[in-house]
Amino acid sequence: MSTVAVIRDIAIIVLAVESLIVGALLIVLILQLRGLTRMLQDEVQPILESARETATTVRGTTVFVSDKFVKPLISAAGYASAANRVISVLARGRRRRGK
């Protein structure tokens, strides 16, 4: 057997062993990815539920603050603006009559 044939046979054996190792590592990688996706689904579900609860609480708080504080404040500001306008109109009328 020639030296080239021996080197060729050794290279084929090395490549075959390398292919087996790479295949085994790919299987391990796929199994790890499957486990990771399951873990993420299990971890993300409670976080999403917590986010939903928080959004509901924020929505309720917003409605409460709007009903109890903002709407009355806007009404009061509207009444104050109307009163200010009435007073300014009456004051102009007095000035015109006084001339």
Rounded Cα distance between 20 and 26, Å, is 10
Rounded Cα distance between 83 and 76, Å, is 10
50 band by pLDDT with thresholds 50, 70 and 90:
very high
What is the pLDDT averaged over residues 24-50? Answer: 94
The answer, as to whether pTM is greater than 0.75, is no
DSSP 8-class letter at 66? I
Which tokens is 70 given?
């903002």
Rounded Cα distance between 5 and 11, Å, is 10
Residues of the chain with pLDDT > 90, as a percent, come to 61
In three-state secondary structure terms, 96 is helix
Rounded Cα distance between 49 and 86, Å, is 54
